[in-house]
Amino acid sequence: MVRFEDVWLRYRHADRAPEAEALRGISFEIEDGGFRWLTGPSGAGKTSLLKLIYLAEHPARGRIEILGSRAARITRREAALLRRRIGVVYQDFRLLPQLDAYDNVALPMRLARRSEAQVRADVDEILRWVGLAHRLHARPDELSGGEQQRIAIARAVVARPKLLVADEPTGNLDNEQAERLMLLITALNKLGTTVIVATHNTALVERYPFPRLSLEHGRLVHDG
């Protein structure tokens, strides 16, 4: 479950004017196994809201609960272990440039100290899913934007997270790839993963009519 209660976010070093608040009084709840689109114009605060969910920022005010844990109440160690249960597709991918595609995707499993046999089986399977089984040994700088995005998606889901957070995951994909991605994400969702996807892609939102959270100027203007 993901629950926000009157959450405010102000970036450090930002000036103190009210406009400097990236998020203002956000409250919502996503039930376990739920799916939400997160929409809104550029600069509305979508990435900021997702960062709070995947524990990359602390709110200035308010209460955040992620997968049963109060974000403000957990130790650094607990936060790290909680992050392992959250799959994240970053807007800018964040692949490690020194590792090839296989090792990038394997990273979350290796951090969780899974056996190499398990790593191999799961990484191979997920790379086939995203259609990059033939690009195992390519480094990120040898991959196209769309391929990098698919690797980032594979890395986010390989460890079967309880919560999947994706920031504009179809930004670099053509329609067919976006369609494949939605098949993967809805399959995971059906298996019980809670999903939240920020997107600009209105066509996709229309084709998959899940409930929608909508932001404008850091405020939640639509929930449902």
Partner 1 sequence: MMARRRGDLLGLRAALSDRLLPVLVGAMSFLAALAVGGALACATLAASWQGDTEAALTIQVPQPNDPDAANDGTRLAAVQRALAVNPDVQGEAIMSEAEMNRLIAPWLGSDAASLGLSLPAVITAQWEGEGSADELATQLQQASPGTLVKTGAIWAQRVAALTTSLQACALAVLLVVALVAAAVVAVATRSGLAQLRETIDTVHGLGALDSDIAGRFATRAIWLALGGSAGGTLLALPMLAWLAWLAAPFTGPARLGGFFNLPPALLVLVPLLPGMAALIGWVTAQLTVRGWLRHLP
Residue 107 within binding range of ligand ADP, rule CB under 6 A? no
Using the contact rule CB under 8 A, the part of the chain among 5-13, 26-34, 108-116, 142-150 near partner 1 is 108-116
Q: 22 touches which of partner 1, ligand ADP, Mg ion, none (CB within 5 to 8 A by kind)?
A: ligand ADP
165 three-state secondary structure:
strand
Burial level of 16, CB count in 10 A (0-12/13-18/19+)?
exposed
| Residue 50, phi then psi, degrees to nearest 5 | -65, -40
User: What binding mask, one character per residue, do residues 31-60 give for partner 1 by CB under 8 A, x or -?
Assistant: -----------------------xxxxx--
Residues with Cβ within 8 Å of residue 185, at least 6 apart in sequence: 164, 166, 195, 197
User: What is the 3-state composition of the chain as percent helix, strand, coil, each rounded to the nearest 5?
Assistant: 40, 25, 35
How far is 143 from 151, CA to CA, in rounded Å? 9
What would the two tokens of residue 7 be?
């959450």
Sign of torsion over alpha carbons 10, 5, 192, 42: negative
Residue 39 within binding range of Mg ion, rule CB under 5 A? no
User: What binding mask, one character per residue, do residues 133-172 give for partner 1 by CB under 8 A, x or -?
Assistant: ----------------------x-----------------
Number of residues that bind Mg ion (CB under 5 A): 2
Residue 224 is classified by DSSP as -
Q: 58 touches which of ligand ADP, partner 1, Mg ion, none (CB within 5 to 8 A by kind)?
A: partner 1
- Half-sphere exposure at residue 117, Cβ-oriented, CA atoms within 13 angstroms: 0
Q: 183 touches which of ligand ADP, Mg ion, partner 1, none (CB within 5 to 8 A by kind)?
A: none
Q: 48 touches which of ligand ADP, partner 1, Mg ion, none (CB within 5 to 8 A by kind)?
A: ligand ADP
Residue 82 within binding range of partner 1, rule CB under 8 A? yes
User: Cβ distance 89 to 166 under 8 Å?
Assistant: yes
Site for ligand ADP in 28-87 (CB under 6 A): 40, 42-48
Pairing type for strands 86-89 and 21-30 reads unpaired
Contact residues for ligand ADP, defined by CB under 6 A: 11, 14, 22, 40, 42-48
Contact residues for partner 1, defined by CB under 8 A: 54-58, 76-77, 79-86, 88, 94, 96, 98-99, 103, 106-108, 110-112, 116, 155
Contact residues for Mg ion, defined by CB under 5 A: 46-47
